A and B are shown apart, each in its own frame.
Chain A
Amino acid sequence: MKRTLIATSIAALLALPASAAEYKVGVLLPFSGVYAGLGAHIENGFKLGLEHFGDKLGTDTITMLRDDTEANPGATLAKAKKMVLADKADVLTGIVSSAVLGGLRDFVHSSKTPLVVSNAGNDAATGERCSPYITRVSFSNGSITRVMGPWLAEQGVKTAYLMAPDYAAGHQMMDAFRATFEAAGGKVIGEAYPPLKGTKDYGPYISKAKASGAEALMTFFAGGAAINFVKQYAEFGAAKDLPLYGAGFLTSAAYVHVQGAAADGVIASLHYVPTIDNAENKRFQEGYQAAYEGKLGSEFAVAGYDSARLIIEAIAAAGGDKAKFKGELAKVSFNGPRGPLKIDPATHNVIQNMYIFRNEFADGKVTQNVLATIEGVQDEVNGCKM
């Protein structure tokens, strides 16, 4: 009896980790294709995060592997398998497209590989298709627009017209807004979902929305579509009768300077705005602008930055124990550039503040001023069973 006890203690001692562990982080981002711009922002942010928080690693080390996901779920799955099975990656991160995330979900779940999602907002990934191995530091689609419903109703807006591209994210963003806006007494009196691919001219849609007589136009567009949409909205002189609101990607810090005067007066909600006033954001923006030609750090860059920090903090908490590391990811919480951030234990989705901000154009520059902060926005469990 005594002997077995001693034997187990020795075994336990032997099983204790060596003092230094080497972690391989597989970064999967779109470096080509429609999302290439976003991929670059996230990677830049990720590298800055490694630089800013790398000293917390102690004797542990991180090696970065990277590969291109494009917007291709099949190819990404093959690349993820290679990273995990051949290159022995300990954790994956990145993922911009929700479709790519959907394609990867079963593999990371069954191979028990932790995945830190730094963009893809598909509600299902932290809802009915959630996994203990998937942790999301970016946002869920619904959480972005849900806060706009009650806020708009409080401003006295009674009717709204909805517009978003015709795909999962567009519908999830609009459905979440509709639910809270109507619960607060508002009414959606029209909606349009232009095709995601191939819509360059929003003129017919904007004209129709204006003719509906709604008091607000609530939208979600991102990237090139957002640039086109906001410019064309301004050209149609719609601002007077039909003020524009949206998910904050509409006027992202990544491209609001291209929209310029057209973005003036647009009000939107997002989990990050470059003007957030805290020490962490100041450090992030100063570091980012110094490293990347004075470019403003966008919400995409922040997600990369926070992904790096989350992984580093989990490694530090695990104390060199790789098995323990997997469980630590969802326990990390910190104050980052976007304010307090923690992971919901029930869904592994991020719990964070949402900022409602107004774009102000003056002297050739757009400034995003925060009008309201909604603290600790958390998703319903939505059928997630860990």
Chain B
Amino acid sequence: MLTDPSFWLVQGLNSLQLAMLLFLLSVGLTVIFGLMNFVNLAHGSLYALGALIGYSIAEASGSVFLAFLLAPLAVTAVGALLYITLIERLRSAGPLPQVLVTFGLIFVLMDAQRYLWGSDALGVTGDVPFSGTIHIGSEPYPAYRLFIIAVGIAVFAGLYLLLNRTRLGAEVRAGVDDAETAAALGVNVERTFFLVFLLGCGLAGLAGAVAMPAFSAEAGMGVEILVPTLVVVVVGGLGSLSGAFVGSLVIGVTLTFGTALFPDFAGIAMYAALVAVLLLRPQGLLPARS
């Protein structure tokens, strides 16, 4: 098995696919964190919400592409609502109330999802784009997973341009680097934070919608993905786009190959990687603030 190149190829692609989902989730979280020292623990619940709303849209309209488009928008709207009702008030409250409230939100959102969608795993029954198998060399591989990888890379490229080529990007970078000075120079940091928060919610919704056809949608799936996402944020380094990307790759590879090669230790492989990074580079691999 270990000398079989197709094993490494297929597991490599599996790692990449998992890494891209983690990237979509962690990038919003890490930039919000870097910008405002605010951690939204309910971020994973928005991922589940994206999957469930995506499921309903796909079933009602018969189009999974429509779900990819509308589910992130719907999740962004929920994010805006959360911001206006709760998160804005918490901005000056310090880390402990923020953690408590967003932790409580996990349960509120999960039970709301159970109430609305039930507790079964839901899979789309209609046609899914890229649902076939394609051959890489002689090795069959699910085409849809390659699509997930492509979505992740496209979002990375888009965010890279946004961050480096636009005014909003410059404001975000300035805010992450030194929020006080940026504010003194006339940057509306609060507004920037709001926009970044919405973008993060939208990406979490997109991740859920894109994951749904492959892995089905289920209330509670957000809790399962939250821990690896937080680990990615820490491993990658706070506030950094490239950090989130590299951190996702490290954790994706660790989880996938850990499962395949050392199944008995798969549960701790991710934490071992986390500890190793924290010992060698406590600030994370590519932090925004050096």
Contacts and interface: CB of A to CB of B under 8 A. Distances in A.
Contact of A236 (B125, B141, B221, B260): B141
B248 interface: no
B14 A207 contact: yes
B142 A200 contact: no
Interface string B83-108: 00000000000000000000000000
Contacts of A201: 14, 18, 214-215
A204 B260 contact: yes
Tell me which of B7, B14, B121, B131 has the highest count of chain A C-beta atoms within 10 A of its own C-beta. B121
A227 B120 CA distance: 11
B142 A228 contact: no
A201 B16 CA distance: 13
A200 B11 CA distance: 16
What class of interface size applies to chain A in its complex with B? 20 to 34
Contacts of A258: 123, 125
A295 B223 CA distance: 32
Contacts of A225: 121
B140 A236 contact: yes
B76 interface: no
A81 to B, nearest CB: 26
A204 B214 contact: no
Tell me which of B6, B131, B218, B263 has the highest count of chain A C-beta atoms within 10 A of its own C-beta. B263
B156 interface: no
Given A211-B4, A236-B140, A224 B267 contact: no
Main secondary structure of the interface of B (DSSP, over half): helix
Contacts of A198: 224
Contacts of B125: 257-258, 260
A225 B120 CA distance: 10
A34 interface: yes
Contacts of A200: 211, 215-216, 221, 224
A195 B267 contact: yes
Contacts of A193: 263
B14 to A, nearest CB: 5
A37 interface: yes
Given A201-B215, A211-B6, A236-B133, A34 B140 contact: no
B17 interface: yes
A294 interface: no
Contact of A237 (B133, B216, B260): B133
A227 B123 contact: yes
A204 B145 CA distance: 12
A260 B125 CA distance: 8
Tell me which of B118, B140, B218, B256 has the highest count of chain A C-beta atoms within 10 A of its own C-beta. B140
A121 to B, nearest CB: 20
Contact of B1 (A212, A223, A231, A257): A212
A74 to B, nearest CB: 19
Contacts of A231: 123
Contacts of B118: 36-37
B19 to A, nearest CB: 12
Contact of B11 (A197, A204, A232): A204
Interface in A20-53: 32-34, 36-37
Contacts of B140: 236-238
B215 A228 contact: yes
B166 interface: no
B155 to A, nearest CB: 19
B120 A37 contact: yes
Interface string A178-194: 00000000000000111
A34 B120 CA distance: 7
A207 B10 contact: yes
A196 to B, nearest CB: 12
A76 B263 CA distance: 34
Interface string A213-247: 00000000001110110011001111000000000
Contact of A232 (B4, B119, B214, B260): B214
Contacts of B224: 197-198, 200
Contacts of B114: 32
A143 to B, nearest CB: 27
Given A193-B263, A223-B121, A224-B218, A211 B1 contact: yes
B260 A207 contact: yes
Given A224-B218, A228-B216, A258-B125, A204 B133 contact: no
B7 A211 contact: yes
B164 interface: no
Nearest to A228: B216
A223 B10 CA distance: 27
A58 interface: no
B14 A203 contact: yes
B61 interface: no
Contacts of A237: 133, 135, 140-142
Contacts of A232: 142, 214
B188 interface: no
Tell me which of B114, B218, B259, B260 has the highest count of chain A C-beta atoms within 10 A of its own C-beta. B259
B193 interface: no
Interface string B248-270: 00000000110110010001000
A111 B135 CA distance: 62
A203 B140 CA distance: 12
Contacts of B18: 201
Shortest beta-carbon contacts, A-B, top 10 = A224-B121, A237-B140, A235-B142, A237-B133, A200-B215, A198-B224, A211-B1, A211-B7, A207-B10, A203-B14
7 contacts: A197-B224, A200-B211, A204-B260, A207-B11, A207-B260, A224-B216, A228-B216
Given A211-B4, A224-B120, A236-B142, 8 more contacts: A192-B263, A200-B211, A201-B214, A207-B10, A211-B6, A228-B123, A232-B214, A235-B144
